[in-house]
Amino acid sequence: MECLRWTALELGRRIRAGELTAVEAAQAALRQIDVCEPVLNSFITIDPERVLEQARAVQRGIEEGRFGGALSGAPVAIKDNLCTRGQRTTCASRILGDFTPAYEAEAVARLRRAGAVILGKTNMDEFAMGSTTETSAFGATRNPWSLGRVPGGSSGGSCSAVAGGEAFYALGSDTGGSIRQPASFCGLVGLKPTYGRVSRYGLVAYASSMDQVGPIARSVADCAAVLEVIAGHDPRDSTSLARGDTDFTAVLGRDIKGMRIGIPRGYFGEGLDAEVGAAVRAAAQGLAACGAVVEEFELGLTAYAVPTYYTIASAEASSNLARFDGVKYGYRASGEGLHDMYKRTRSQGFGPEVKRRIMLGSFVLSSGYYDAYYLKALRTKARIKQAFDAAFVRYDLLLGPTAPTTAPALGESLGDPLRMYLGDIYTIGANLAGLPAISVPCGLDSGGLPIGLQLTADCFQEKKLLAAAYAYEQSRPFPLCPMLTAEAGAGGEAADAETRGQGTACERKYICPEQMRREG
Amino acid sequence: MAERITGEMIEYVGILAKLALSEEEKAQAGRDMERMLGYIDLLNEVDTEGVDPMTHLFSVANVFREDVVTNGDGSEAVWAGAPGGVKEGGLKAPRTLE
Amino acid sequence: MSRQYETVIGLEVHIELATRTKIFCGCSTAFGGAPNSHTCPVCTGMPGSLPVLNRRVVEHAVAVGLATNCRITQYCKFDRKNYFYPDNPQNYQISQLYLPICRDGWIEIGTAAGRRVVGIHEIHMEEDAGKLIHDEWEDCTLVDFNRSGVPLIEVVSEPDMRSAEEVIAFLEKLRLIVQYLGASDCKLQEGSMRADVNLSVREMGSGTFGTRTEMKNLNSFKAVTRAIEGERRRQIELLEEGRPVIQETRRWDDNKEYSYAMRSKEDARDYRYFPDPDLPPVVIDDAWIEAIRARQPELHEAKLARYQAEFGLPAYDAGILTSDKRLADLFEATTALCGRPKRVSNWLMVETMRLLREHERGADQLDFSPENLAKLIGLQERGVVNGTVAKRIFEIIFTEDIDPEAYVREHGLETVGDEGAIRRAVEAVMGANPQSVADYHGGKKKAMGFLVGQAMRAMGGRADPGAVNRIVRQMLEGDASGDLG
């Protein structure tokens, strides 16, 4: 159906204009989900009944003038580490079992109040730990651009859903690049806001000092509109900040003439794919053509971002994930006494990558190693932050690739964790320093895979990011992902089964295509 | 630095993290951790003399709640997911007295 | 035992703060709710929940720090203490290790051995754990998170105490300070004040400390005393036998009067403290400290001195009246109403204390209103009721807090001053007890007391005792003269 190619803002406009209803849009998305899911596996939980019920309520609200927002009626996919009231939230982990929160993530609540129709919960790397969405207990997700490739991660399900036409936009979370890198692999726009811009309440914590919720969409304007809805102070998150400058869509179309853009030389060193490098340099030229002043400079310390990040993130994760113990919610294994129950529950409930990080994090915090590892990382983080501060004295934005390569093939990455971690080298700096950053598609490689351009701004300068990204996007229109058809879906079944080989795949709650057809 | 990660260290971290690893997993965990720590040792190249550990990014302080009761009875939500069941309002857990 | 040993004791005192809500969420701290009813996602460790600090907790902690001569840490933070236990819903406790809110304080204690200054190493803020109940029937543990997240301060003393007596004096002093500040009710039995004892022994004159043990589960002053004596004995025995004292945590069993090691191979005691990224730092500027200092109420010692100077009370009486904040408050409020400090003091020192003992209650459980005691004192002063009736009425005030004026009216308890009525009653009593009259005349003057008592009884205790006395004497003497005449 044609509407599936629209941006969320375009869909919203047409719904408000009465050209189609929120219910029809939801039905179209559900039909596409029906076609794609056997192949893509973007979702962990979908309840079509609930989707249509919401769509009908939103449509009534639009007609009665209660929902006047730009995104009213547009179906959205939510990463499964954001709590949704009454709908199970798994973090793609076996350990959460059928955990169904009685509360809602603040970002999700804000979307609902703006008339969003929530399609379901998307697949991800377990607890957002991974760069491929292959560490999920619910099987891997495929990249809609090339089914043998990963969509990136950890917000891979959110990105494949938006690229594959299953959803009009999505929420993801970004701790070390988990919105930007999969957006780059899936030819989408993904934005990580300044730390504190969006409430973390209801986001299941991975690394609390770096986690941020952000939008994933098909256009810069969509991202700006979503951010406008979800940003804002929340008294339930002590790290959320009260600021008034959240009219992000106001800057779209603003002239970027004279904007100073710095390219860290270190971002074009060893490990960067030549085609990616060329595309990003071409994008820099494109921005220069829009009037920006672009130059290379030395950012410094870039090689230290990855080890700093993994030390801090693992330490925080080891503590944040301690609550999953079989006592209060989620999975419980039977055991001989309390500690045996704890150990069995956690050993069976967590996947290998999560366990790896919990072990590392427990170690770097343990007696005798805390100073040498954890505090050293916090000191290095301070120096990295200083390097960014110095750069933003000279530049409005920093420019570079989002990821060193385009999407790798399925099954290629998990064998060598350290190599996988090095793929986060460009995105991690923004998380360590709390900066906003955006990934915008800037071309396809020779294999037809999307390449992402990353722009980073100083804290709270999302408007600069969005203005530049929008100007670039307008100057270089990017193709949409080719739509999957029913035939492609059928062909993918066999391959799908094989990608689910990793560990015990949990049961997905993807229900009743028949029902959907009846509704349709 | 590049510590050698011994079997005992992995055993100890397993106790801290409440993870029971098989012998094979322990060996793998030891290798993984040694490699990762070797990589983290790169940070020793960074001069951090006199640099304070950065625990919070912004100079925001004093975020408070007022002392006013805002929550009602939360027991239903606590009981709803209890994997061991509920008795007399309490969540059932394995006995804690040794 | 040939060698002489010295006991070295330090305390870790946990005090539940008197806030309406928990430290990091808006759940009530009230006692006695149904299991898990005072809970929310935050205090049950639900995924995605986040803590937000209760301002009152900081203010109480600073107030206690100022009253114990501490330095206030003007930039302080919270840290996570990581350990697994079912009463700890996140499996980390939010506490303070690196930058506790107060440091380097002291309080002075007095014992038979003299006065001594006990140092306070630090005071930090933290959250309480939930309650675990062992279920014998199913052999499992039941978890109740109602107390989870209740704010605590932990007062850590220096190892400056040398005897159980000093420890009790320290705890009493600390309790009075905190209670007077209104920062906690400090009830040991209910667990709102809990002390862990760190104890080591060394040979007298030794300059180094011995290996210490930590004792937990001490929920009364008596238990603290017994545990100290028991542990001192145990450690000396070990040393005498040439065996080492092991640094460990021990659980005191007050029934068996013995402590048990709480060791387990799963207990690594490596808490991996690190700054909590969910909570921004707390900055306490001079203005805030001064505002808290300005609000500080009169503390125990000042009150003790003032009661003697202002009300002319003996030191002993002032000491008892100020031994509990509730009692002192009652004294002052009643005195303010009736302007008779000595009478108020008498009621509280004698009758109130007797009734508390009889009902096995503590002074902190007094719940009658100062208005009613003041009214009673007024009734007695004006001669509306006599002393006997007043005591009877006070018992009812003590238990039911009745209005004595209304009660006297309703029950017709006013003192009868009507001479005719008394005379008639005395005549009747004398008529009925000729033997007592004869005894009196026979020189047994005590017989008069019996007749007075009988006359009072005949009048339901309401007669003015002075008048009865006078009339009985008059009539006995008159009677005698009549006989002679």
pLDDT digits (tens, 9 = 90+) for C53-81: 999 999 999 999 999 999 999 999 999 99
**Is A520 a residue whose pLDDT tops 70?**
no
Report the range of poorest mean pLDDT among A360-369, B27-36, B61-70, C215-224.
Answer: C215-224
Q: What value does the mean pLDDT of chain A take?
A: 93
Among the candidates C255, C288, C321, a domain finishes at C288
pLDDT band at A501 (very low <50, low <70, confident <90, very high): very low
Q: Measure CB to CB from residue B16 to each of A338, A347, A362 and give the nearest one.
A: A362
Q: Measure CB to CB from residue A208 to each of C84, C91, C277 and give the nearest one.
A: C277
DSSP helix/strand/coil, C290? helix
Q: Measure CB to CB from residue A418 to each of B35, B46, B93 and give the nearest one.
A: B35
Q: Are A342 and C266 in contact (CB under 8 A)?
A: no
* Proportion of chain C above pLDDT 70, given as a percent: 97
pLDDT digits (tens, 9 = 90+) for C74-114: 999 999 999 999 999 999 999 999 999 999 999 999 888 88
Q: Are C273 and C80 in contact (CB under 8 A)?
A: yes
pLDDT band at A268 (very low <50, low <70, confident <90, very high): very high
C272/A103 CB distance under 8 A: no
Helix (H) or strand (E) holding C454: helix C447-458
B67/C86 CB distance under 8 A: no
A125-136 b/e with 16+ CB inside 10 Å = b? bbbbbbbbbbbb
Chain A residues in contact with B76 by the CB 8 A cut-off are 102
Give the other-Cβ count within 10 Å of B70's Cβ. 12
**C 246-285 residues with CB < 8 A to B:** 264-266, 268, 270, 272, 275, 277, 279-283
Q: How far apart are CA C479 and CA C191, in angstroms?
A: 68
Q: Are A279 and A412 in contact (CB under 8 A)?
A: no
Q: Does C278 touch chain A (CB under 8 A)?
A: yes
Q: Return the pLDDT at A239.
A: 97
Among the candidates C361, C389, C411, a domain finishes at C411
Q: Return the pLDDT at A509.
A: 54
Amino acid at A150: V
Any alpha helices (H) in C341-386, and if so which ranges? 341-346, 353-359, 370-381
**Is A6 a residue whose pLDDT tops 60?**
yes
Q: Return the pLDDT at C205.
A: 87
Q: Return the pLDDT at C481.
A: 44
Residue C293 lies in a domain: no
What's the CATH code, domain B7-45?
Answer: 1.10.20
Q: Which of B84, B78, B95, A101 is nearest to C144 (CA)?
A: B78
Instruction: Judge whether A209 counts as a catalytic residue.
Output: no
Q: How far apart are CA A16 and CA A20, in angstroms?
A: 8
Q: Which two tokens stand for residue C480?
A: 């005698």
Q: Return the pLDDT at A492.
A: 44
pLDDT digits (tens, 9 = 90+) for C317-330: 999 999 888 899 99
| Whole-Å CA distances, B79 to C93, C141, C142, C439 | 22, 15, 12, 80
Q: How far apart are CA C325 and CA C289, in angstroms?
A: 24
Report the range of poorest mean pLDDT among A200-209, A309-318, A340-349, C404-413.
Answer: C404-413
Domain residue extents for chain A:
2-300+389-474+486-514
The verdict on domain A2-300+389-474+486-514 having CATH code 3.40.309.10 is no
The predicted model gives A330-345 an average pLDDT of 95
Q: Return the pLDDT at A126.
A: 98
The predicted model gives A56-61 an average pLDDT of 98
Same domain, C77 and C15: yes
Instruction: Judge whether A257 counts as a catalytic residue.
Output: no
pLDDT digits (tens, 9 = 90+) for C133-180: 999 898 999 999 999 999 999 999 999 999 999 999 999 999 999 999
Chain B residues in contact with A364 by the CB 8 A cut-off are 40
Q: Are C212 and C199 in contact (CB under 8 A)?
A: yes
User: Neighbouring chains of C at 3+ CB pairs within 8 Å?
Assistant: A, B
Report the range of poorest mean pLDDT among A183-197, A490-504, C147-161.
Answer: A490-504
**C 155-214 residues with CB < 8 A to A:** none
Q: Which residues are bridge partners to C117 per DSSP?
A: C108
- For C271, nearest residue in chain A (alpha carbons): A366
pLDDT digits (tens, 9 = 90+) for A70-111: 999 999 999 999 999 999 999 999 999 999 999 999 999 999
pLDDT digits (tens, 9 = 90+) for A243-260: 889 999 999 999 999 999
Q: Does C53 touch chain A (CB under 8 A)?
A: yes
**Is A497 a residue whose pLDDT tops 60?**
no
Q: Which two tokens stand for residue A451?
A: 């390449």
In three-state form (DSSP H/G/I as H, E/B as E, the rest C), the secondary structure along C67-126 is HCCCEECCEECCEEEECCCCCCCCCEEEECCCCCCEEEEEEEEEECCEEEEEEEEEEEEE
Q: Return the pLDDT at A491.
A: 44
For chain C, the domain total comes to: 3
Q: Return the pLDDT at A261.
A: 98
Residue C131 lies in a domain: yes
Instruction: Judge whether A79 counts as a catalytic residue.
Output: yes
Helix (H) or strand (E) holding C384: none
Q: Return the pLDDT at A511.
A: 42
pLDDT band at C416 (very low <50, low <70, confident <90, very high): confident
- How much is the ipTM here? 0.96
Tokens 């690190």 correspond to C274
Q: Are A238 and C23 in contact (CB under 8 A)?
A: no
B7 or A493, greater pLDDT:
B7
A117 or A506, greater pLDDT:
A117
Maximum mean pLDDT: which of A168-172, C31-35, C463-467: A168-172
Q: Return the pLDDT at A487.
A: 63
Interface size A-C, in CB pairs within 8 Å, comes to 102
To the nearest 10°, report the CA torsion of A364, A370, A371, A373: 0
Host domain of residue C425: 419-484
Q: Which two tokens stand for residue C104?
A: 């380097």
Q: Are A460 and A396 in contact (CB under 8 A)?
A: no
The predicted model gives A339-355 an average pLDDT of 96
Q: Which two tokens stand for residue A344?
A: 């069995």
Q: How far apart are CA C218 and CA C216, in angstroms?
A: 6
The pTM of the full predicted model, rounded to 2 decimals, is 0.89
Best of C28, C81, C141, C150 to disrupt the B interface (most B CBs within 10 Å) is: C141
Report the range of poorest mean pLDDT among A399-403, C436-440, C478-482.
Answer: C478-482
DSSP helix/strand/coil, B66? coil
**Is A217 a residue whose pLDDT tops 50?**
yes
Q: How far apart are CA A421 and CA A401, in angstroms?
A: 16
Maximum mean pLDDT: which of A206-220, C208-222, C351-365: A206-220
Same domain, C240 and C125: yes
* Proportion of chain A above pLDDT 70, given as a percent: 93
Q: What value does the mean pLDDT of chain C take?
A: 91
Q: Return the pLDDT at C259.
A: 85
- Dihedral (CA of A511, A348, A415, A375) sign: positive
The predicted model gives C256-282 an average pLDDT of 87
Q: Are A298 and A304 in contact (CB under 8 A)?
A: no
* Beta-strand pair A75-79/A117-122: parallel
pLDDT band at B3 (very low <50, low <70, confident <90, very high): low
Q: Which of C413, C406, C407 is nearest to C388 (CA)?
A: C413
Q: Are A134 and A414 in contact (CB under 8 A)?
A: yes
Q: Measure CB to CB from residue B93 to each of C38, C75, C143 and give the nearest one.
A: C143
Q: Return the pLDDT at C219.
A: 82
Q: How far apart are CA C12 and CA C16, in angstroms?
A: 13
B91/C143 CB distance under 8 A: yes
- For C79, nearest residue in chain B (alpha carbons): B55
Chain centroid offset of residue C483 CA: 64
Tokens 């990463």 correspond to A79
Q: Which residues are bridge partners to C10 per DSSP?
A: C198
Residue C132 lies in a domain: yes
Q: Return the pLDDT at C452.
A: 87
Any alpha helices (H) in A41-132, and if so which ranges? 48-63, 106-113
Q: How far apart are CA A31 and CA A176, in angstroms?
A: 33
Amino acid at C317: D
Q: Are C372 and C402 in contact (CB under 8 A)?
A: yes
Interface size A-B, in CB pairs within 8 Å, comes to 162
